[in-house]
Structures are given as structure tokens and as C-alpha cells.
Amino acid sequence: MTINPLLEVENVYAGYVKDLDILQGVNFKIYPGELVAVIGPNGAGKSTLAKTIFGLLTPHQGKITFKGQSIGGLKSDQIVQRGMCYVPQIANVFPTLTVEENLDMGAFIRNDSLQPLKDKIYATFPVLAERRRQRAGTLSGGQRQMLAMGRALMLQPSLLLLDEPSAALSPILVNNVFEQIRQINSGGTAIVLVEQNARKALEMAHRGYVLEAGRNRFTGPGSELLNDPKVGELYLGVKTVH
């Protein structure tokens, strides 16, 4: 039995300025329930890829397919309704609203009871349950990241795009956030993890893509990329002994 990709990006060119592409023919796919890491140096196009998939940038060449249907050119709200959510690196919560109000905002297209969903998210992120009446702007960086993920999960997406979830977090909080990501994935949600912390991302990923200058450089199972001497030397800070 052939399993079709949940999301497939084929030969996509996209950027922020006309005639200046950051993505130079990128190919990418993720299957249902997978956790796929996207790593690479600064400026490689990792975040640009996430924004293009989610409709924040429009590809001028190539094809993006989600659940078997083309989504290239769709607006973000239309993509959300098809079952995809995106958590940006910054400005990912409503700081003046409470934790609970942020979760409610995440379910803007639902018209069923939200309490069972909120209970599930509080079980996944106990710190949010403790701080449900607290304004989001007063949370720590790691807690805000968890709230941003929790808010996205209020729509029970098939695919969650996470853009640099560990950025600017302390090592302890990084471990905590990554453990939550692993837990979300084990519950069946497919995750695209765009991440600077390449080693940690590959350790938990089923597969990984290494981008460089807007192009595919390496791809393969996370464990294989982690142990590839070339990937280690170029992207993981591993010195090869000659």
C-alpha cells in the first residue's frame, strides 16, 4: 500500500523581493505523523520555506501540495482551514491576553466546545494550566513558546510548522520545549521543525533536510544525517580528523 505525502514541495522558487529568490528550487516532503527537521546555516532559506508553505510568501515557480491538493497561492487563513498551523519564531502570542484567552483565539474557526481541547493542552503543558489567568506577556520565553504551540493545537492540525522554537531559550527550557514537541508528534501530529539547534533537531527527527543557499544539500533519516561526517563538519561543528 502506497502512502502519499501529507505535504509536498516541488521545485519551489520564492523570496521577499521580486527577482531575488531565497529558495532556489527546493524540494521537500513530509508524510502523515512524521517529524521532519529542516536545518542549515543562517540565510539558507529555512524560515523562508516555512513561510512559503504557509502562504505568507507566494512561490513564483514550483508546486506545493497539501493532502493531495495544490495550496500554492492560497492565503494563510485558507491553509489553516485545511488543517495546517504555523508557529512563528517571534510575535507568536497575544501579550495582553491571558493564557486561556490566547488558547480561545487559537480556535477561531471552531464552533464546538473548546473545554475538552483546552484540558488536553493543559495536560500536555501543565505550566499553562497553572498560569491560565496570567497575561501572556508576563510569561518566560519558554512558556510563551509552549503557549504558541498550544494555541496552534487548538485547531487539531494534521501538520504543525514550527519556526525556530528553541531560539533565545536557556538550555533547560530548550530541552523542555523539545520534549513537548516530541510528545505532540507522538500523538499523531506531523511536524516540520525548522531549527538552528541542528543536533537536537536531528536526534528526534524521523528525517531531515539540510538547506544551503536556498537549495537542497543533504536529505535522509535524522540518525544518518547526524552521523554523516560531511554534515557533522559543515553544520554540527564536528571536526573531522584527516
Is residue 1 situated within a structural domain? no
Confidence (pLDDT) at 241: 46
Q: Is the pLDDT assigned to residue 240 strictly greater than 60?
A: no
Q: Is the pLDDT assigned to residue 15 strictly greater than 50?
A: yes
Q: What is the CATH number of the domain that holds 64?
A: 3.40.50.300
* Domains identified in the chain, total number: 1
User: Using DSSP, how many helices (H) and how many strands (E) does the chain show?
Assistant: 10, 10
Can you tell me whether residue 238 is helix, strand or coil?
coil
Other Cβ atoms within 10 Å of 179 Cβ, number:
11
pTM: 0.92
Confidence (pLDDT) at 112: 73
Q: How far apart are CA 160 and CA 35, in angstroms?
A: 10
Range of the domain at 67: 7-90+157-235
Contact 235, 198 (CB under 8 A): yes
Is residue 51 situated within a structural domain? yes
Is residue 99 situated within a structural domain? no
Is residue 79 situated within a structural domain? yes
Residue-wise pLDDT for 56-93, tens only, equals 999 999 999 999 999 988 999 999 999 999 999 888 89
Is residue 19 situated within a structural domain? yes
Ramachandran angles phi, psi of 159, nearest 5°:
-135, 130
Q: Is the pLDDT assigned to residue 111 strictly greater than 90?
A: no
Q: Which residues contact 22 (CB under 8 A, 6 or more apart)?
A: 14, 15, 16, 45, 48, 214
Is residue 106 situated within a structural domain? no
Is residue 142 situated within a structural domain? no
What residues pair up with 28 in beta bridges, in sequence order? Answer: 9
Confidence (pLDDT) at 89: 85
Residue type, 51: K
For the chain, what is the mean pLDDT? 91
Q: How far apart are CA 143 and CA 29, in angstroms?
A: 30
